Protein backbone atom coordinates (compact mmCIF):
# COMPACT_ATOMS: atom_id res chain seq x y z
CA UNK A 1 0.00 0.00 0.00
CA UNK A 2 1.36 3.46 -0.84
CA UNK A 3 2.08 5.81 2.07
CA UNK A 4 -0.69 8.14 0.85
CA UNK A 5 -3.24 5.30 1.06
CA UNK A 6 -2.21 4.21 4.54
CA UNK A 7 -2.24 7.83 5.76
CA UNK A 8 -4.97 9.64 3.78
CA UNK A 9 -4.54 12.77 5.91
CA UNK A 10 -0.78 12.46 5.94
CA UNK A 11 1.37 11.50 8.87
CA UNK A 12 1.27 13.44 12.12
CA UNK A 13 3.63 13.41 15.09
CA UNK A 14 3.30 15.34 18.33
CA UNK A 15 6.30 17.33 19.51
CA UNK A 16 6.36 17.89 23.28
CA UNK A 17 8.22 21.11 24.00
CA UNK A 18 7.84 24.45 25.73
CA UNK A 19 10.12 26.07 23.14
CA UNK A 20 8.25 27.43 20.12
CA UNK A 21 11.51 28.03 18.20
CA UNK A 22 12.42 24.36 18.45
CA UNK A 23 8.94 23.43 17.31
CA UNK A 24 9.08 25.77 14.29
CA UNK A 25 12.48 24.46 13.22
CA UNK A 26 11.23 20.87 13.53
CA UNK A 27 8.01 21.59 11.67
CA UNK A 28 9.96 22.87 8.65
CA UNK A 29 12.23 19.83 8.51
CA UNK A 30 9.43 17.27 8.86
CA UNK A 31 7.30 19.11 6.29
CA UNK A 32 10.08 18.50 3.73
CA UNK A 33 9.01 14.83 4.04
CA UNK A 34 5.27 15.44 4.20
CA UNK A 35 5.09 14.71 7.91
CA UNK A 36 2.97 17.17 9.89
CA UNK A 37 4.02 18.24 13.38
CA UNK A 38 1.66 19.25 16.18
CA UNK A 39 2.83 21.13 19.24
CA UNK A 40 1.93 19.34 22.47
CA UNK A 41 2.51 21.93 25.17
CA UNK A 42 2.33 19.81 28.30
CA UNK A 43 4.71 19.52 31.22
CA UNK A 44 7.50 17.09 30.41
CA UNK A 45 9.00 14.69 32.89
CA UNK A 46 12.66 15.82 33.07
CA UNK A 47 14.92 13.27 34.70
CA UNK A 48 18.30 14.47 36.00
CA UNK A 49 20.92 12.73 33.91
CA UNK A 50 24.26 13.55 32.31
CA UNK A 51 23.05 12.01 29.05
CA UNK A 52 20.70 14.06 26.89
CA UNK A 53 19.60 10.78 25.26
CA UNK A 54 18.34 9.40 28.58
CA UNK A 55 16.54 12.69 29.32
CA UNK A 56 14.79 12.77 25.93
CA UNK A 57 13.88 9.08 26.01
CA UNK A 58 12.35 9.20 29.50
CA UNK A 59 10.25 12.26 28.56
CA UNK A 60 9.00 10.73 25.30
CA UNK A 61 8.08 7.44 26.95
CA UNK A 62 6.21 9.19 29.74
CA UNK A 63 4.25 11.39 27.29
CA UNK A 64 3.32 8.43 25.07
CA UNK A 65 2.04 6.51 28.11
CA UNK A 66 -0.03 9.50 29.25
CA UNK A 67 -1.45 10.73 25.96
CA UNK A 68 -1.39 7.57 23.79
CA UNK A 69 0.02 9.53 20.85
CA UNK A 70 3.10 9.24 18.63
CA UNK A 71 5.48 11.56 20.43
CA UNK A 72 8.81 13.19 19.72
CA UNK A 73 10.89 14.90 22.36
CA UNK A 74 14.11 16.62 21.42
CA UNK A 75 16.79 17.48 23.91
CA UNK A 76 19.80 19.57 22.99
CA UNK A 77 22.82 21.16 24.56
CA UNK A 78 25.82 23.33 23.82
CA UNK A 79 29.17 21.72 24.65
CA UNK A 80 32.14 24.11 24.81
CA UNK A 81 35.39 22.18 24.47
CA UNK A 82 37.53 24.81 26.26
CA UNK A 83 35.11 24.59 29.21
CA UNK A 84 35.31 20.77 29.34
CA UNK A 85 31.91 20.36 27.74
CA UNK A 86 30.08 22.89 29.91
CA UNK A 87 27.14 23.69 29.86
CA UNK A 88 26.15 20.42 28.08
CA UNK A 89 23.09 18.86 29.72
CA UNK A 90 22.75 21.94 31.92
CA UNK A 91 22.34 24.31 28.93
CA UNK A 92 18.81 25.31 29.77
CA UNK A 93 19.65 26.27 33.36
CA UNK A 94 22.86 28.04 32.34
CA UNK A 95 21.04 30.00 29.64
CA UNK A 96 18.44 31.15 32.17
CA UNK A 97 21.01 32.05 34.85
CA UNK A 98 24.35 33.37 33.52
CA UNK A 99 23.12 33.60 29.91
CA UNK A 100 25.19 34.48 26.85
CA UNK A 101 27.09 37.18 28.68
CA UNK A 102 28.11 34.68 31.34
CA UNK A 103 29.41 32.20 28.76
CA UNK A 104 31.38 34.94 26.97
CA UNK A 105 32.87 35.99 30.32
CA UNK A 106 33.85 32.42 31.14
CA UNK A 107 35.48 32.22 27.71
CA UNK A 108 37.48 35.40 28.38
CA UNK A 109 40.83 33.66 28.90
CA UNK A 110 40.07 30.55 26.87
CA UNK A 111 41.86 30.45 23.54
CA UNK A 112 40.25 27.29 22.22
CA UNK A 113 36.75 28.45 21.28
CA UNK A 114 35.61 25.20 19.62
CA UNK A 115 32.16 24.07 20.61
CA UNK A 116 29.34 21.91 19.34
CA UNK A 117 25.62 21.53 19.69
CA UNK A 118 24.27 18.05 20.17
CA UNK A 119 20.69 16.97 19.70
CA UNK A 120 18.80 13.80 20.46
CA UNK A 121 15.34 13.19 19.06
CA UNK A 122 13.45 10.48 20.92
CA UNK A 123 10.40 8.99 19.23
CA UNK A 124 7.88 6.83 21.09
CA UNK A 125 4.57 5.48 19.92
CA UNK A 126 4.17 2.78 22.55
CA UNK A 127 6.13 1.37 25.45
CA UNK A 128 7.63 -1.16 23.03
CA UNK A 129 8.57 1.27 20.27
CA UNK A 130 11.07 3.91 21.20
CA UNK A 131 14.01 5.08 19.12
CA UNK A 132 16.61 7.83 19.32
CA UNK A 133 18.31 9.82 16.56
CA UNK A 134 21.38 12.01 17.01
CA UNK A 135 22.64 15.20 15.39
CA UNK A 136 25.73 17.28 15.99
CA UNK A 137 27.07 20.54 14.58
CA UNK A 138 30.64 21.69 15.15
CA UNK A 139 31.53 25.35 15.40
CA UNK A 140 33.02 27.96 17.67
CA UNK A 141 31.97 30.53 20.23
CA UNK A 142 32.10 34.03 18.75
CA UNK A 143 33.85 36.89 20.50
CA UNK A 144 30.59 38.81 20.87
CA UNK A 145 26.84 38.33 20.42
CA UNK A 146 25.68 38.79 16.81
CA UNK A 147 22.25 38.49 15.21
CA UNK A 148 18.68 38.47 16.38
CA UNK A 149 17.13 35.35 14.82
CA UNK A 150 16.72 32.01 16.52
CA UNK A 151 16.96 31.52 20.26
CA UNK A 152 19.19 30.46 23.13
CA UNK A 153 22.89 30.41 22.33
CA UNK A 154 22.39 31.16 18.62
CA UNK A 155 23.94 34.69 18.82
CA UNK A 156 27.30 33.28 20.01
CA UNK A 157 27.56 30.10 17.90
CA UNK A 158 29.32 30.13 14.50
CA UNK A 159 28.95 26.78 12.70
CA UNK A 160 32.17 25.58 11.00
CA UNK A 161 30.32 25.12 7.69
CA UNK A 162 29.48 28.86 7.59
CA UNK A 163 32.02 30.41 9.95
CA UNK A 164 31.30 34.08 9.24
CA UNK A 165 27.78 33.98 10.57
CA UNK A 166 26.30 33.02 13.90
CA UNK A 167 23.10 30.94 13.88
CA UNK A 168 21.28 34.12 14.96
CA UNK A 169 22.40 35.82 11.73
CA UNK A 170 20.70 33.12 9.65
CA UNK A 171 17.11 32.63 8.59
CA UNK A 172 15.56 29.43 9.94
CA UNK A 173 15.93 27.64 6.59
CA UNK A 174 19.66 28.40 6.58
CA UNK A 175 20.14 27.30 10.20
CA UNK A 176 18.28 24.09 9.30
CA UNK A 177 20.93 23.31 6.65
CA UNK A 178 23.52 22.85 9.39
CA UNK A 179 21.90 22.47 12.76
CA UNK A 180 22.17 19.58 15.18
CA UNK A 181 18.36 19.52 15.49
CA UNK A 182 17.73 19.39 11.72
CA UNK A 183 20.29 16.57 11.35
CA UNK A 184 18.68 14.47 14.08
CA UNK A 185 15.20 15.16 12.71
CA UNK A 186 16.21 14.21 9.15
CA UNK A 187 17.47 10.86 10.46
CA UNK A 188 14.21 10.43 12.37
CA UNK A 189 11.96 11.31 9.44
CA UNK A 190 13.88 9.04 7.06
CA UNK A 191 13.36 6.13 9.45
CA UNK A 192 9.76 7.11 10.23
CA UNK A 193 8.61 7.41 6.62
CA UNK A 194 10.06 4.02 5.73
CA UNK A 195 9.01 2.12 8.86
CA UNK A 196 5.77 3.52 10.26
Write the DSSP symbol of residue 113. Answer: -
Closest CA to 155 of 164, 168, 139, 144: 168
Residue (of 51, 22, 47) closest to 37 by Cα position: 22
Q: Is the separation of the CB atoms in 51 and 122 below 8 Å? A: no
Position among 18, 24, 97, 126 found at the interface with ligand ITT (CB under 6 A)? 18
DSSP state of 156: G
Which range touches ligand ITT (CB under 6 A), out of 6-14, 99-107, 127-135, 149-157?
149-157
Q: Which stretch binds ligand ITT (CB under 6 A): 64-72, 75-83, 124-132, 186-194?
A: 75-83
Q: Is 166 in the site for ligand ITT (CB under 6 A)?
A: no
Q: Is 17 in the site for ligand ITT (CB under 6 A)?
A: yes
Exactly one of 153, 178, 188, 192 binds ligand ITT (CB under 6 A); which one?
153
Q: Is residue 154 flagged as an active site residue? A: no
Q: Which is nearer to ligand ITT, 157 or 192 (CB)?
A: 157
C-beta closer to ligand ITT: residue 74 or 158: 74
* Measured distance CA(65)–CA(44) in Å, rounded: 12
**Phi and psi of 163, rounded to 5°?**
-70, -10
- Interaction of residue 7 with ligand ITT, rule CB under 6 A: no
Within 10 angstroms of residue 112's Cβ, the number of other Cβ atoms is 12
Residue of 49, 75, 114, 154 with catalytic role:
75
State whether residue 133 is helix, strand or coil: strand
Nearest approach, Cβ of residue 96 and ligand ITT (Å): 7
Q: Closer to ligand ITT at the Cβ: 7 or 151? A: 151
Amino acid sequence: MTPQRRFPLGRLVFFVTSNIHKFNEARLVLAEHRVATALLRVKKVEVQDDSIENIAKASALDATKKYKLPIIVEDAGLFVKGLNGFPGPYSSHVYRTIGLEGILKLMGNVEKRDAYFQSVVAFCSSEELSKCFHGKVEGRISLEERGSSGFGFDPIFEPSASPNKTFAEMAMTEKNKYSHRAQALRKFVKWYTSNI
